[in-house]
Amino acid sequence: MIRQLTAVGAALGAFTTSTPAIAAQCADRETVVERLAAHYDEQPTAAGLQTADDKQALVEVWSSRETGTFTVMMTMPDGKTCIMATGTDWHQQGPDAHVLGSAS
């Protein structure tokens, strides 16, 4: 799980230094989710909440086992979703599903 968090952290770090063109790739959540599923066969892989300025945002990784593509996105409380990073050759490490801090 530490490796997954490191990978997501690296992707988030890349976003903060990304070009404005990448940062500007935002739309309503429904549109983004439909495109990820239809064009890339991606499904939710991991998610977590980020809190900044007393607002929470949902950070998600969507990926496809078939194509190996992945997308890191952030959804704000108003429903606006921004693509933070995309790539290829995604591979899942460790347990497929568990929440840090929860009892197993």
- Residue 11 identity: A
- Residue 25 identity: Q
Beta pairing, strands 70-75 & 80-87: antiparallel
Tokens of 11: 């992707």
Tokens of 96: 């497929």
Q: 87 Cβ partners below 8 Å, 6+ apart?
A: 69, 70
pLDDT tens track for 55-74: 899 999 999 999 999 999 99
d(CA 99, CA 84): 22
Residue 94: the pLDDT is 72
Sequential pLDDT tens for the chain (104 residues): 455 544 545 544 544 444 444 445 899 999 999 999 999 999 999 999 999 888 899 999 999 999 999 999 999 999 999 999 999 999 887 765 555 555 44
Q: Are 79 and 86 in contact (CB under 8 A)?
A: no
Q: Are 83 and 75 in contact (CB under 8 A)?
A: no
Main-chain dihedrals φ then ψ at residue 50, nearest 5 degrees? -120, 130
